[in-house]
Structure 1
Amino acid sequence: MKAIKVMATVDQQGQLALDTPLVISQNSRVEVIVVILEAAERDEDDEPQEKILESLRQSLQDAKVGKTRPVSELWNSLDAE
């Protein structure tokens, strides 16, 4: 038996939507155990991987066209937070 941990969302019809696809070598039937996080356990800073990847793609595109900022500006904005 192999265990894979992934995050998912349950919709109003009770269907699971995985945040990321499962990477497995063959089609197979699986057993699913659902752990429902309490509000206090949720980390609001956790962004879905798709959103992070899109942000990285946009940043790469910006860098390719010269749309960049000096590192000193980045540090200043981090210090302000």
Structure 2
Amino acid sequence: MKAIEVPGRIDSQRNLVLDEPIQGTTYLHQVRVIVLVPEQAEAEEVDPNDKHVEEIKASLRRALQQAKTGHRLPLSQMWEGIDAE
């Protein structure tokens, strides 16, 4: 048996919704699904500063487009406002 790990969630109608499609072969036979739900303590440990993958991808796309069009921040200004102790 092969294991495939894909992040997802259970929606308000109690349907399993995958965050991304399963890559590779189509499985026409029945599969087993094991849902791992974080304990309450684990759920509280989620960093509120973590961004969703799509937000990060969008940010990287914007940065790449800005770099291609010459909209760059000079290196001398990059550390302004950052407290690096």
TM-score by length of 1: 0.73
Higher RCO, 1 or 2 (CA under 8 Å, sep at least 6)? 1
User: Deviation above 6 Å: which 4+ runs of structure 1?
Assistant: none
**Greater Cα shift, 13-22 or 49-58:** 49-58
By how many angstroms is 1:41 displaced?
Answer: 4.0
Query: Aligned partners of 1:8 and 1:69: how far apart in 2?
Result: 36
| Alpha carbons 1:8, 1:19 under 8 Å: kept | yes
Distance 1:77 1:18, change over 3 A: farther
TM-score by length of 2: 0.71
Structure 2 stretches of 5 or more lacking a match? none
By how many angstroms is 1:32 displaced?
Answer: 1.1
Answering whether residue 30 of structure 2 is matched by residue 26 of structure 1, we say no
Query: Aligned partners of 1:72 and 1:79: how far apart in 2?
Result: 15
Answering whether residue 81 of structure 2 is matched by residue 55 of structure 1, we say no
Structure of greater Rg:
2
AA aligned opposite 1:47: K
- Matched pairs, number: 80
Match of 1:11 in 2: 11
Higher helix fraction: Structure 1 or Structure 2? Answer: 1
By how many angstroms is 1:8 displaced?
Answer: 0.7
By how many angstroms is 1:31 displaced?
Answer: 1.3
Structure 1 stretches of 5 or more lacking a match? none
Percent identity of the aligned residues? Answer: 43
Distance 1:73 1:2, change over 3 A: farther
